[in-house]
Amino acid sequence: MSTIRLTVGQALVRFLAAQRSERDETEHRLIAGCFGIFGHGNVAGVGQALLEAELTDPALLPYRQARNEQGMVHAAAAFARVSNRLSTLACTSSIGPGATNMVTGAALATINRLPVLLLPGDVFATRVASPVLQQLEDPTTYDISVNDTFRPVSRFFDRIWRPEQLPSAMLAAMRVLTDPAETGAVTLALPQDVQAEAHDWPAELFRERVWHIPRPEPDPAALGRAAALIGSARRPLIVAGGGVIYSGATGALREFAAATGIPVAMTQAGKGSLAYDDPACVGAVGATGTTAANVLAREADVVIGVGTRWSDFTTASRSAFGADGVAFVNMNVTAFDAAKHAGIPVVADARAALTALTRALAGWSVDPEYREQARRLAAEWDAVVERAYAARHAPRPSQAEILGVVNEVAAPTDIVLTAAGSMPGELHRLWRARDPVGYHVEYGYSCMGYEIAGGLGAKLAAPQREVFVLVGDGSYLMMAQELVTAVAERVKLTVVLIDNHGFASIGALSESVGSQRFGTSYRYRSADGRLDGDYLPVDLAANAESLGVPALRAATADEFRAALEQARAAEETTLVYVETDPLIPAPDGGGWWDVPVAETAALPSTRDARAAYEKARRQQRDYL
């Protein structure tokens, strides 16, 4: 067997460049590039190998310099999501804080079932210089480092103590990255001395390798049970999750809904599975749902979950589905999710399951009256959305008005992207989605700081689409650094920065639990010691300009529209800054979210909130 002598870092880079994914006879680069920030833990190993690769062929495994380790993992996760999990990016960091900065990104990727490959530097395997700079010392053992914090947030973790361990670890990593049921963050911790160590590798290791992504078919008996239950239903409801989009099952969902007349509600990850004006679409469901979907959810006798993991926002903390004896059918590629709520589990690819179920229910449909009710409720909600979009509040616009302008300026295939604060809930209810990839809200982890980094990753994955990054002032202040990366890479984003001088979402939540918006505004400390003075004079638009990004300012919704159209037409990343009034509420869809309220309190506001909480909690139920 012929061999090639390379360092571990060089072998890793060459191996990653040769990996491909395949589904439906279409191949993709599995690892499309590598983000990195170099330090003593990776500069001589992976860093040197990436340099050699760039000098040999810049397209082999393109390297991009990031500004924040957490941010680069968010960018990789967004890239994977826009790529329908068929392609992703690797991220390399140094030892210590560089590595642990990636842990939050790893948790986000794993919770959202998005494949990312993390390559943190690690301590010396030989221990010849222990303890090295930034090394955590555990007095009970020498084989623990800070990288062990990746274990609970990774779907696969390994530490490469010897070069001989690399091939099996890399093959296992690729297996997990391409497994639709098991995917998430994959972490290969790389001791810094091992990265630079040379080894004779079999040439076969570096041949092009194709990882075939299957479409598991449903078990016929499980499918039969599901079809029988659905066929007996009078008021069934479909809840479409992210698995519909990742599977490419939107067409199959549309055909199934049209044939059976079952209305379709959507989770955050599943929004866009149907266009907002599809006859079967009733919009968002759950805590941030529409009145249309939530009315149908309360009355549904059979709920058909497709590619959803049933988070508390989807079920309104298990209060959304209220009919006596409500039953569930769960079509999911992951058995863990398919078994939730004591439902009939159909463990299968979403497209395969929907196609098979359409055949199994051929000729069956809900009553025409039920179809008509769903359409009427959806139309009523759309009128609510139109009024929210068209309102013109003064002196500052509402956030809903701003979202309406973005919705109108954006083309159907443009991407709107956000993650945390009040915007995800308002977008879930109000955004008129027209394309499966066009709605990109990270809500599995709802991570502040995802927005700009995620927008960078989304644009890298879909350069032909315009990407609108919607970010609040709170999230912007946590992580805006990847604006610099967008400028350096000449990646065009349109960033909408909504400034409401604090944490609007948590401010509203604080008020609802009787805590009077305490600690949620950006204010000076008053003479009496309280944080209730004037608002801070922070100029975030000027901050963006200092990072190399042109900024446009708007004071009204009409000024915002003109600025947004200018930004969309620009060839470079441009930020549009607008202040909104956080006390103007968006339309509510009637959902509830379980956030416990203090059981005893001196504050009347808290006592009142506790009484309301106990009343609402009586709607919760176990789905057994």
Instruction: Identify which of 116, 62, 108, 54 has the alpha carbon closest to the alpha carbon of residue 91.
Output: 116
Place of tokens 């392609």: 87
Q: Which CATH superfamily is domain 391-501+536-579 in?
A: Thiamin diphosphate (ThDP)-binding fold, Pyr/PP domains (3.40.50.970)
pLDDT the model gives residue 505: 84
Domain spanning 3-212: which CATH class is it, in words?
alpha beta
Average pLDDT in the 315-342 region? 97
Average pLDDT in the 200-214 region? 97
pLDDT in tens, 57-84: 999 999 999 999 999 999 999 999 999 9
Q: Are strands 281-284 and 302-306 parallel, antiparallel or unpaired?
A: unpaired
The DSSP call for residue 148 is G
Average pLDDT in the 405-410 region? 98
- What is the C-alpha radius of gyration for the chain, rounded to an integer number of angstroms? 25
Q: Which CATH superfamily is domain 220-379 in?
A: TPP-binding domain (3.40.50.1220)
| Mutual angle of helices 557-569 and 399-409, in 10-degree steps | 40
Q: Are strands 494-499 and 467-472 parallel, antiparallel or unpaired?
A: parallel
Contact 563, 553 (CB under 8 A): yes
**Burial class (CB within 10 angstroms; exposed 0-12, middle 13-18, buried 19+) of 206:** middle
Average pLDDT in the 81-107 region? 97
d(C-alpha 3, C-alpha 203), whole Å: 5
**Burial class (CB within 10 angstroms; exposed 0-12, middle 13-18, buried 19+) of 495:** buried
Which two structure tokens, joined as six digits, stand for 59? 């397209």
pLDDT in tens, 13-30: 999 999 999 999 999 999
Contact 190, 114 (CB under 8 A): no
SS3 call for 81: helix
DSSP assignment of 263-329 equals -EEE-TTTTTSS-TTSTTEEEE-STT--HHHHHHHHH-SEEEEES----TTTTTTTTS--STT-EEE
Give bridge partners of residue 358 from the DSSP assignment: none
Instruction: Identify which of 40, 50, 122 has the alpha carbon closest to the alpha carbon of residue 89.
Output: 50
Phi, psi at 36, each rounded to 5°? -165, 155
Which two structure tokens, joined as six digits, stand for 48? 């040197």
What's the whole-number average pLDDT of the chain?
Answer: 96
> Helix H segments across 112-186?
166-177
**Confidence band, pLDDT 50/70/90 cuts, at residue 508:** confident
**Confidence band, pLDDT 50/70/90 cuts, at residue 504:** confident
All CATH 3.40.50.970 domain ranges in the chain, comma separated: 3-212, 391-501+536-579
Contact 76, 88 (CB under 8 A): yes
Q: For 211-229, what is the HEC assignment?
A: EECCCCCCCHHHHHHHHHH
DSSP assignment of 374-425 equals HHHHHHHHHHHHHHHHH---SSS--HHHHHHHHHHHS-TT-EEEE-STTHHH
Q: For the chain, first and last CA: distance in Å? A: 58
Average pLDDT in the 250-262 region? 98
Give bridge partners of residue 551 from the DSSP assignment: 575
User: Does 594 score more than 90 pLDDT?
Assistant: yes
SS3 call for 452: helix
pLDDT in tens, 267-311: 999 999 999 999 999 999 999 999 999 999 999 999 999 999 999
**What element of type H or E holds 564?**
helix 557-569
d(C-alpha 560, C-alpha 573), whole Å: 17
User: Does 412 score more than 90 pLDDT?
Assistant: yes
d(C-alpha 423, C-alpha 578), whole Å: 14
Average pLDDT in the 497-505 region? 90
User: Does 624 score more than 90 pLDDT?
Assistant: no
Phi, psi at 13, each rounded to 5°? -65, -45
Q: Strand (E) positions, 94-196?
A: 116-122, 156-159, 185-191
All CATH 3.40.50.1220 domain ranges in the chain, comma separated: 220-379
User: Does 509 score more than 90 pLDDT?
Assistant: no
pLDDT the model gives residue 1: 78
Least confidently predicted of 72-86, 148-162, 235-249, 529-543: 529-543
pLDDT in tens, 546-592: 999 999 999 999 999 999 999 999 999 999 999 999 999 999 999 99
pLDDT in tens, 359-394: 999 999 999 999 999 999 999 999 999 999 999 999
User: Does 507 score more than 90 pLDDT?
Assistant: no
**What element of type H or E holds 244?**
helix 242-246
Contacts of 583 (CB under 8 A, 6+ apart): none
User: Does 456 score more than 90 pLDDT?
Assistant: yes
Q: Strand (E) positions, 409-473?
A: 415-418, 439-441, 467-472
Contact 483, 544 (CB under 8 A): yes
